[in-house]
Amino acid sequence: MRPEERHQRILQMVTENGRVDIDVVSAELGVSAMTTRRDLALLEADGALRRVYGGATRVNSGSYEPPFPVRAKLHAPAKQQIGAAVAALVDDGQTVILDGGTTAMAVAEHLACRHITVCTPSLRVAGVLVSSATVRLMITGGMVRLGEQSLVGPAASSMLEDYHFDLYIMTVSALDVDQGFTEWHPEDAAVKRTALASSSRCIVACDSSKIGRTAFARVCPLSSAQLLVTDSRIADEQRAALEAHGLQVVTTPVGPLEARLGVGGLDAAMDPQGAEQCSTEKVRP
């Protein structure tokens, strides 16, 4: 098993269980305890987990934002499927706000051949769409958050306030029935609230690992969005609770790779030649 595959599986185990033990990880991955210790040290250096005696735990603080490269490794196949499903809900000719994050980049990849207007407060998302011959791309102003490459501050919000958009595709750090949609960074949350106020409709795109969790900064209650697109690993009781609060939930299927690896999957194992980019088939919930 390659190092990238081991790191992905370790991150999945930490996310699911809260803690992993070196002996259990070594047996699961078929490697020595020394290799597991080295893997845990590398992941801790990336900020993905915290080493403790005999193993490692996840970083539990709702104010902690894992680095973008770490988040990009988590649940990659699910995010691609969510990206395709969300893109299929967008009509040609619409004006759309698409914010930042790893899931937003997956959505952007599937929108790149569509005849739409996209406004984004993310330099990473803009980088996906900037070469598109069909997308009319708008970028907010604002200060750049290094690493995340999101645009925040009064200039970003002011630009969004000057327009009215058909649709806001919002990604979130966490969502909970009681706490609503939350974000790690307060300035990102502020831009999201402005985007909501500037749009007729909101679709939330997030993988199921974020459901039932709470991050540091509150964005809005569940009632502010009309639709959640997530993967099929959402628990039945979670789906029922969200729908009881008026949020429609659409799930994507688990692909062969995701089913083989469990929740999440490997960026390295994704075949970009086989991924359906720029799907134009409309899917309605």
pLDDT at residue 27 in the model: 92
Output 123 or 70, whichever has higher pLDDT: 123
What CATH number has the domain bearing residue 7?
1.10.10.10
Question: CB-hemisphere CA count at 13 Å for 158?
Answer: 6
Judge if 113 and 210 occupy the same domain: yes
Q: Which two tokens stand for residue 44?
A: 């801790």
Here the tokens at position 150 are: 């999101």
Looking at the fold, whether 30 and 159 belong to one and the same domain comes out as no
Q: pTM of whole model > 0.75?
A: no
Do residue 76 and residue 24 come from a single domain? no
Q: State residue 147's pLDDT score.
A: 73
pLDDT given at position 278: 52
Joined together, the tokens standing for residue 20 give 């992993």
**Distance of alpha carbon 141 from alpha carbon 151, whole angstroms:** 7
- Over residues 93-143, the pLDDT tens digits come to 999 999 988 899 999 999 999 999 999 999 999 999 999 999 999 999 999
Q: How many CB atoms lie within 10 A of CB 283?
A: 14
**Among candidate residues 124, 150, 135, 141, the one with its CA nearest the CA of residue 95:** 135
CA distance 141 to 209: 31
Shared domain check, 55 and 148 = no
Residue-level pLDDT at 65: 59
- Note whether 219 and 95 are same-domain residues: yes
Q: Residue 244: give the domain boundaries.
A: 70-261
Identify whether 194 is part of a domain: yes
Q: Are 144 and 52 in a shared domain? A: no
**Does 114 lie in the same domain as 26?**
no
Do 132 and 46 share a structural domain? no
**75 and 42, same structural domain?**
no
CA 55 to chain centre: 27
Residue with tokens 């070196």, as numbered in its chain: 22
207 and 158 within one domain: yes
In this prediction, residue 246 has a pLDDT band, given cuts at 50, 70 and 90, of very high
Q: Extract the tokens encoding 127.
A: 């980088």
Residue 182 lies in a domain: yes
Residues 48 and 174 reside in one and the same domain: no
- Kindly state whether residue 278 falls inside one of the protein's structural domains: no
CATH number at residue 241: 3.40.50.1360
φ, ψ for residue 178 (rounded to 5)? -85, -40
End residue of a domain, out of 38, 60, 82:
60
Residue 227: partners with Cβ closer than 8 Å, 6 or more residues away: 89, 202, 203, 204, 247, 248, 249, 250, 285
- Final residue in a domain of this structure, among 42, 60, 78: 60
What integer pLDDT is reported at residue 102 of this predicted model?
A: 86
pLDDT tens by residue, 12-56: 788 778 788 999 999 989 999 999 999 888 888 777 778 999 999
Helical residues (DSSP H) of 18-67, grouped into ranges: 22-29, 33-45
Among 60, 84, 103, residue at a domain's last position = 60
pLDDT at 3 over 50: yes
Q: For residues 247 and 228, is the Cβ–Cβ distance under 8 A?
A: yes
Tokens of 179: 């706490």
Q: How many structural domains comprise the chain?
A: 2
Q: Which residue has the higher pLDDT, 92 or 13?
A: 92
Question: In angstroms, rounded to a whole number, what is the distance separating the alpha carbons of residues 127 and 120?
Answer: 10
> Using one digit for the tens of pLDDT, what is the confidence trace for 146-201?
778 899 999 999 999 999 999 999 999 899 999 999 998 899 999 999 999 999 99
Q: Cβ distance 12 to 263 under 8 Å?
A: yes
Give dist(CA 155, CA 152) in Å, integer: 7
